[in-house]
Amino acid sequence: MKEIKVLGSGCANCETTAKLIQDVAAAKGVDIALEKVSDMGAILGYGVMSTPGVVVDGVVVHAGGIPGKASIEGWLA
């Protein structure tokens, strides 16, 4: 199971990113544990200065803007 965190304040882009990750994971049949992190201290602790950020299994893989479907598929592979 992949542990994925979406880092952000809860803005529209953050919500869209979380939904997109859930949709791609469901389509690929990949089990994920998705957590939304909105605490700015925690977000800055990952070194993310631009949201939404995405952390997969403890590694920051994306920051700033909505990620593309191909990127998400790569993270879930």
Note the pLDDT tens digit of each residue in 5-52. Answer: 999 998 999 999 999 999 999 999 999 999 999 999 999 999 999 999
CATH value at residue 25: 3.40.30.10
Query: Which pLDDT value is given to residue 8?
Result: 96
Q: Would you call 43 helix, strand, or coil by DSSP?
A: helix
pLDDT-based confidence at residue 64 (cuts at 50, 70, 90):
very high
The pTM is what?
0.95
Q: How far apart are CA 44 and CA 6, in angstroms?
A: 13
SS3 52: coil
pLDDT band at 67 (very low <50, low <70, confident <90, very high): very high
Please, which pLDDT band fits residue 3 given cuts at 50, 70 and 90?
very high
Range of the domain at 6: 2-76
Say how many domains are in the chain: 1
